[in-house]
Amino acid sequence: MTQSLKEYADLYRRPGPWTTVFVDATTGTVDTLAAGDVRPQNVRSQLEASGAAREDVDAVEAALQRGTGQPAPVAQFILVRQGTTELSELLPGARAMPELLSVAPVPDLLPLVKHRPESFPYVVAEVGRGDAEVRLHYAARDVRNTPESVEKVQGSEENLSKFPGGGWAQYGYQHRTEEVWRHNADDVAAAVDKVAGSSGARLIILAGDVRARALVTDQLSKASQAMVEQVDSHTHTEGDNPEDLNARVSSLVAEKWATEQQEILDRLAVQEGQDNPESATGPGGVVRALQQAQVDILILSSDALQDRTFLALDAEPWIATSEGESLAAGVLGEAPGPAALLRAAALTDADVVLVPGGALPDGVDVAALLRWPTGPGVPGSS
């Protein structure tokens, strides 16, 4: 449920101004094709009115033109600085927030974070006694049940069916059959372990032959076994409806996702009322914790702080509520609250989680779980 922005830390350190564009990029119908034709010019006009540099506007227009031709629905996220497109991504699925066109001292990654909340990698393996298909999915990108990768495992088919006769011949044949099944299951388990381990998968869903599922589960690593959920569906040989399997998989993913989010909120609730809590709530407390690189997980309400700004700094402590807090760092300028908080989280290696409005207690719109507890209060202070 959390996501790391560490990969963007270098980008966040680069001087601006930054032009951020987040727009619908859908094409494919008469209406959307027409909209796609005029979109670059409309965006150009709005950016020019916002004071964007000509070289940046040119770069945005070129990126929009390169991003056409994707099936609906799809959005495009673009970051441009000094005439260079630093980031351009097509994001499948309906937009998670309104379109955004801005010029600011720091990049605004909120649309990207909202659109693909931690991606949530998971593995679906349909297993048989002789073969298997291991699919890697990312929940936030997977709007059309299209896997990120597919690995097919073809095992031995020798003695795959048990001998129908009797006596010692039957016993020997069945023994060899069981050995073939186990060997095949070992190959499938190795493939699942590899895909899950390399992707950081958080859930492994096993479907297919019931005996094969049991054998594969036994052969998985302990780490993989802890993530396994089994689904009684076999679309390859028993003709089960793939849509039914997809629906069950979606339900399991949503349940796991919600559970992880609730665990974070429960951890926050446990800290409430503690003398020296490992948490901070509210903009002031969270900013102070970010300034000390104390934040482990930044918890941001999805529509929080839209009208609030913070100062973005060019060095530690990276964020401030006033110039007096900037220490020796230079002030880059005012940045929208969510953008400034996400930047500070990335630059201090904190994870981020977005939660629905109202999920945080008592009207709080931003909170944090900390790496170490806050100190005791100073007597007489407020």
Same-domain pairing of 55 and 149: no
Nearest to 99 by CA among 37, 26, 6: 26
Residues 189 and 85 in one domain: no
In a domain, 125, yes or no: yes
Report d(CA 188, CA 151) in Å as an integer.
Answer: 10
* Co-location of 193 and 255 in the same domain: yes
Is 297 found in the same domain as 245? no
User: Would you state the structure tokens that stand for residue 200, as one six-digit string?
Assistant: 């950081």
Q: Report pLDDT for 271.
A: 92
DSSP structure string for 57-84: HHHHHHHHHHT--PPSSEEEEEEEETTE
- Tens digits of pLDDT across the chain (382 residues): 678 899 999 999 999 999 999 998 876 444 444 455 678 899 999 999 999 999 999 999 999 977 666 667 888 999 999 999 999 998 877 787 889 999 999 999 999 888 875 568 899 999 987 788 999 998 765 555 678 888 888 765 554 444 454 444 444 445 456 677 788 889 999 999 999 999 889 999 999 989 899 999 999 999 999 999 999 876 655 556 778 888 899 899 989 988 888 999 999 999 988 889 999 999 999 999 999 999 999 999 878 888 899 999 999 999 999 999 999 999 999 999 999 999 999 999 999 999 888 888 877 899 999 999 976 543 433 3
Q: Are residues 64 and 90 in the same domain?
A: yes
Residue 358, token pair as written in the block:
């109202």
Instruction: Tell me whether residue 243 is in a domain.
Output: yes
Q: Which pLDDT score is estimated for 171?
A: 45
The type of residue at 231 is V
**Number of Cβ within a 10 Å radius of residue 12:** 20
Tell me which of 226, 261, 296 is where a domain ends. 261
pLDDT confidence of residue 147: 81
Same domain, yes or no: 202 and 256? yes
Domain that holds residue 363: 273-370
Q: Are residues 186 and 245 in the same domain?
A: yes
Q: Identify the residue whose tokens are 């036994």.
A: 218
Clarify whether residues 240 and 280 are in a common domain.
no
pTM of the model: 0.77
Q: Please, what is the angle between helix 337-347 and helix 282-291, to 10°?
A: 30
Token pair recorded at residue 219? 């052969």
Report yes or no on 292 lying in a domain.
Answer: yes
User: Per-residue b/e over 138-158, b at no fewer than 16 CB within 10 Å?
Assistant: bbbbbeeeeeeeebebebeee
Q: Which residues lie below 8 Å from residue 117, measured CB to CB, with a gap of 6+?
A: 1, 3, 140, 353, 354
Domain assignment present for residue 211? The answer is yes
Looking at the structure, do residues 189 and 137 belong to the same domain, yes or no? yes
The pLDDT score that the predictor gives to residue 31 is 47
User: Residue 382: inside a domain, yes or no?
Assistant: no
